[in-house]
Amino acid sequence: MPRPTSSKASVLFIFITVLLDTIGFGIIIPVVPELIMELTGQDISHASIYGGWLWFTYAVMQFFCAPILGGISDRVGRRPVILLSLFALGVDYIIMGFSRTITWLFVGRGLAGIAGASFIPAYAYLADVSPPEKRAQNFGLVGAAFGMGFVIGPAIGGLLGEMGHRVPFFVAAAIALLNVVFGFFVLPESLPKDRRRAFEWKRANPLGTLIQISKYPLVRGIAAALFLWQLGHQVLPSTWSFYAMFKFGWSEAEVGASLAAVGVVMAISQGWLTRVLVPRLGERRAAFIGLLFGTLAYLGYAFSTQGWMVYGWMLTWFFAALVYPSMNALMSRQVPANAQGELQGGVGSLYSIASIFGPPIMTQLFGRFSAPGARVHFPGAAFVCAAVLALASAAVFARTVRK
């Protein structure tokens, strides 16, 4: 059956949409620690624990909403779901920008969790318009959009943060709402009506979706490995800003610059290296190599004694960034075309579970090991935990693909 739209044009549309969305999200990251300290009156070690619970709130909402959005996109199409999610994200930034208590930050994070599930229909969109042998490369291209967004967003956010902790939130809201307008005019539908299926609640709930995708043995094993990887990866969004400010004394602008540097590496890896290395190495080998390099990265961050050292360890993400697109592509080969939205919903549920447990674990480790009077003073404890999880992921993945 011919695909409903030009594959190259459709991938480009999703790339631009995800890029603009990620810029808006990245803008706020450097200023969140200062805003939490302003609203709570706590030092940075204790503020990081609030930050972990904010991520927890976001993840709980995303956990329940991701499979619902994936299932709805299988029924009504990808386009309306993507646009509605982006609109809700813009409203969230406005709420957070006007917050006067920590409670309103939690309200905003809850709404963001609902809206943040937009990446599920976005990946399903790519699966619709990509032949199986091109999915890893196209998933990597969207990963590059995330990377580029985190180049531009945090860099802008760090600079805007010098003008006030709330300014980046309003700029992010404007970007998200403009992205809705952009998508309305340029984003075509990817799922024709004859390939849609009825919405079922037993499929559109977190456990139901996971049960459905667990029917495929290889998917089940790779999903377990991906979950461990994602659990450890939570140390970066939840803890990085607090860790860098505490250990290296970085300003918001310096935190933004470091996140931008990570984005450059991710963009190059997923936008270019994925297309070069995955076909040569194979998806299984590329994922395994990425897991090993990710382990080295986390250990390097944990034991760095000067700020400039972490920039050297960032280079390992040229290979660590291959993990997600390679594993996702392997799983997508195992399910039929009309279940790609469900698969991505299940993957999103796993990410949400990792996001539920990961940030509180990582920020608790950082907060307790960096607090005044800690019995063992080691702010890098959270990154060591992430390294252990990455090694566990590699072990599970190796066992699964051998079968």
Average pLDDT value over all residues in the chain = 82
Judged by DSSP in three states, 374 sits in coil
Q: What is the average per-residue pLDDT within 37-53?
A: 87
Number of domains in the chain: 1
pLDDT over 90 at 195, yes or no: no
- At 333, phi and psi to the nearest 5? -70, -20
% of the chain surpassing 70 pLDDT: 90
Residue 249 lies in a domain: yes
Q: What is the average per-residue pLDDT within 357-362?
A: 93
Judged by DSSP in three states, 59 sits in helix
Residue 197 lies in a domain: no
Residue 88 sits in a domain whose CATH number is 1.20.1250.20
Report the 10 Å Cβ neighbour count for 249.
Answer: 9
CA distances from 395 to 65, 232, 402 (A): 30, 14, 11
Confidence at residue 386, expressed as pLDDT on a 0 to 100 scale: 96
Residue 193 lies in a domain: no
More confident residue, 333 or 103: 103
Residue 375 lies in a domain: yes
Residue 16 lies in a domain: yes
Q: In the block, which residue shows the tokens 């810029």?
A: 23
125 closest CA partner among 213, 194, 207, 187: 187
pLDDT over 90 at 97, yes or no: no
* Residue range of the domain that includes 387: 7-187+207-402
Q: What is the average per-residue pLDDT within 78-91?
A: 82
* pTM, entire model: 0.74
Judge contact between 36 and 51, C-beta under 8 A. Answer: yes
* Angle separating helix axes 252-268 and 135-161, nearest 10 degrees: 170
pLDDT over 60 at 5, yes or no: no
Task: State how far the Cα of 268 lies from the Cα of 86, in Å rounded to an integer.
Answer: 26
